[in-house]
Chains A and B, each alone.
Chain A
Amino acid sequence: MKQQASRIAGIRQRLRRISVFDGQDLKKAILIGAAWLEEHREAINALNVFPVPDGDTGSNMSATMQAAIRDIIHSTETSASVIAEKIAHGALLGARGNSGVILSQALRGLAQGLDKKQTFSATDLANALQEASRLAYRAVLKPIEGTILTVVRETAEAASKSAERGDDLVGLIQEAVIAARQAVASTPELLPTLKQAGVVDSGGQGFCTILEGVWRYVRGETGTLPPPSVSSSSGEAAVKKGRITVDEEFGYEVVFLLRGTNLDVDAIRQMIIDMGGVSTVVAGDEKMLKVHTHTLTPGKILDYGVSLGSLLDINIENLQEQSLTYAAESQAEHAGETSAVTGDSATVAVVSGAGLEKVFRGLGVNAIVAGGQTMNPSIEEVLAAVNTVSANKVIILPNNGNVILSARQVAALTNKEVYVVPSDTMPQGIAALLSFNFEADFAANCQAMTQAIEHVQTAEITTAVRSVQVGAVDVREGNYIGLINGKLTVAGQNMDHVINDTLQRMELENYEVVTLYYGENVTAAQAQERVHHIKQQYSHLEIEVVDGGQAYYPYIISAE
């Protein structure tokens, strides 16, 4: 296969003609799309504009894609519509972060577009991509251009034009990739924050990367590939042949030594992959080799091994069972901890940090989903918590801007009545929970809790994970940074100065109570000293110190 440059023009070439795809084609294309995204996860994470250690787009989108392919990996289904439906369902449950939710909605649109289709043509795919674009836009309350939305839409538009011209699937997907790359490249022109940070939109890049993976399948390529257009991907490891990364806790882990004669390592590896082996490693020589793979059908792999020679040191572990057991245990643990519901409604909060968990439990939250900063929970995890609590009306506190959208998706997945209080920060969630009225009904509590988050100011102190210019603030990697209500306001090398500046900008003189939640790497004594300093400057304040135990954020400070 000819090596291709990554330049946009470079991929415009004539390949074999393909007029229809069936379910297996769709499955393989999406599997490779997911694998390609996973390969470039870190590069996409690096596109984050914000220097805070937050749930990264690459990780969130890749986790969403891994969930999307969960149910199709071993499917022999040939109906495109059935495969697309499984993809959409998996993505919806596994969606993490805002970009993950939008991606899941795009995949939902794709499935709707391919509804009842055994196979699909270029025109069908173009229509399905239009549907994907429509649903992606509908996923957010206020669509913003220069994001993944723009990329999905322009991709769909290019696909439609291609189909009208009479292109086949190869031609259409090629045009789609070209359009996606151009759209990604133009995102900084649409969104000033991107331009200022000198990056393209990470969610748009993620979508484009998936398309590039699909494009690889269409080209029949499994070997060397043009590097994706991710700017910082130059140092990426070469793509491993045929490798699809899935959740490690999947199926059975099969490890054995195979002794024989004239063993063909490459052929055996390919055979095991073809038999459904995932994350397959086959290493050794013609007399002895080691096989390590993940599969749903270990018997088949072992039978194959026996047909080649003699098996030694066979070790099979049921990862799925372990994983399920773990999940069940952790769920049971959680169920035990869920507090009794008073009144008609229950509360579910997304919380990170052992101390903050205690605070939420102390305030009577009925269930907690671990996560928040750096680790955004999937829709499925939030859904599980909602279904665990005994009440039929559930109020969710996402406590993170990147979780609100996921939380909102839960409403469509449960019979329970769900309301999401749009809490951006932990203190907002706490303020909302504090205003929960034990005697009031669901509607009144939803209203009161939503109002409550407007009366609390949050400052977060953390360390910049990358150098970037945000507004008038020049941030160097490793700097301490202060955010007020999620907005980066102060940066500097000295934590004391950063905290002081941040507090000053919060105009503490107008508030009565300040609560200092200190993180996992701060001692109680350090926190007390901090309080002493604040008290010296703002003597009128009542200051409370709470061991929050949160990661990455030495201090979260709220003012009421």
Chain B
Amino acid sequence: MAVRIVTDSTADIPLAQAQALGITIVPLTVFFGEQAFLDGVELDNAGFYRKLQESKALPRTSQPPPAALQEAYKNLISEGADGILSIHLSSKLSGTYQSACTARDTLSESRIPIAILDSCSISVGMSQAIMHAAQEAKQGVGLEEIKVHVLDELSRTHVLAVLDTLEFLKRGGRIGSAQAMLGSMLNVKPILAIKDGGAAPLERPRTRGKAYARVAQLVSEMGEIESLCIAEASQEVGQQLAQAIREVYKGDIPFYKLGAVLGTHTGPGTAAVAVVTAQ
């Protein structure tokens, strides 16, 4: 058999793609008031943003319980996996990584190695490395080797996001040093980066057009690019960001939908680009 890959719903990997690659996705939970929805399972991107507009209650998010992760590991073990690599969003943004560690440590019948990785990133910032890991796993590459490759790719992945408003960041809390931006009395379209596992403020253009152009400029300054993809809250903003980036990058640009959990903290109108620089 082979190594199996586990991640969580904040990787924003479409279910069909995950299935094809044999990736197990453990969902986080999004609450609208008392109503709970499993991210990506019971609530997709379009459904979430529709609800965000309709609902009076502001959404909250919650990490998957250790039991949910344990069940995923158990299923894979019973399917005959000979190793599990469980890769999750930054431990600074969510307790999911902690849940995964607890799940592994309390798994009594584990006879196979289970490695838990803190990606120190989120969404497209980790999904590329996770999908590559799944491909390697299918080819029969060993757990340790895959882990090394994942860590290497994560270290070369840079995420820049343009938000439409600071409102959702303000409500959400866990945003690290982006706190510095929150006092703004002006409506800005902040550019954030993911740095050291948290959201780091970069710049504060007043208009989206300027923000996208600036992101494109920053991308062009990153050196040789291996691959690049966009995560979008809506097609509109994704296309706008892509248009700016195509000025500086001629390669293929895959698009992914930003899920409900990240959307809860960044709001509608968010577009992000993940750039994997060449080795």
Contact = CB atoms under 8 A, between A and B. Distances in A.
Contacts of A430: 186
Interface in A350-364: 358-359, 361-364
Interface in B165-179: 177
Contacts of A311: none
Contact of A544 (B180, B183, B187, B203): B187
Interface stretch (B123-131, B137-145, B204-212, B258-266): B204-212
A222 interface: no
Contact of B200 (A361, A362, A436, A439): A439
Contact of A363 (B177, B186, B195, B205): B186
A359 B180 contact: no
A273 B210 CA distance: 64
A439 B202 contact: yes
A438 B207 contact: no
B163 to A, nearest CB: 14
A560 interface: yes
Given A515-B186, A546-B186, A439 B207 contact: no
Nearest to B218: A437
A56 to B, nearest CB: 31
A438 B206 CA distance: 16
Nearest to B204: A434
B206 A362 contact: no
Nearest to A434: B204
A332 B202 CA distance: 30
B16 interface: no
B80 to A, nearest CB: 46
A388 to B, nearest CB: 19
A544 B185 CA distance: 10
A380 to B, nearest CB: 29
A560 B181 CA distance: 20
A430 B193 CA distance: 22
Contact of A560 (B183, B201, B206): B206
B184 A435 contact: no
A512 interface: yes
A362 B204 CA distance: 12
A513 interface: yes
A359 B203 contact: no
Contacts of A363: 183-184, 186, 204
A434 B201 contact: no
B72 interface: no
Interface string A332-363: 00000000001000000000000000110111
B188 interface: yes
Interface string B155-166: 000000000000
A358 B184 CA distance: 9
Nearest to A362: B183
Contact of A513 (B185, B195, B207): B207
B186 A342 contact: no
A438 B177 contact: yes
Contacts of B204: 363, 434-435
A358 B183 CA distance: 9
B203 A434 contact: yes
Contacts of B195: 439
A556 to B, nearest CB: 13
Nearest to B182: A362
Contacts of A542: 187, 207
Nearest to B184: A362
Given A512-B209, A560-B206, A438 B185 contact: no
Nearest to B187: A544
Contact of B193 (A359, A361, A439, A515): A439
Nearest to B214: A435
Given A434-B204, A439-B195, A359 B186 contact: yes
Interface in A467-516: 512-513, 515
A438 B186 contact: no
A431 B193 CA distance: 21
A434 B180 contact: no
A434 B205 contact: yes
Contacts of A434: 186, 188, 203-206
Contact of B202 (A359, A438, A512): A438
Interface string B239-250: 000000000000
Contact of B207 (A342, A358, A512, A546): A512
B199 to A, nearest CB: 11
Interface string A514-526: 0100000000000
Contact of B186 (A362, A364, A436): A362
Nearest to A512: B207
A436 B207 CA distance: 15
Contacts of A560: 206-207, 210
Contacts of A437: 202-203
Nearest to A356: B185
17 contacts: A361-B183, A363-B186, A363-B204, A364-B181, A434-B186, A434-B203, A434-B204, A434-B205, A436-B203, A437-B203, A438-B200, A438-B201, A439-B193, A513-B187, A544-B187, A546-B185, A560-B210
Given A435-B205, A436-B203, A544-B186, 6 more contacts: A342-B180, A364-B183, A435-B203, A439-B195, A439-B202, A512-B209
Interface of A: 342, 358-359, 361-364, 430-431, 434-439, 455, 512-513, 515, 542, 544, 546, 560
Interface of B: 177, 180-181, 183-188, 193, 195, 200-207, 209-210
Q: Shortest 5 CB-CB distances between A and B: which pairs?
A: A362-B183, A512-B207, A434-B204, A362-B185, A513-B206
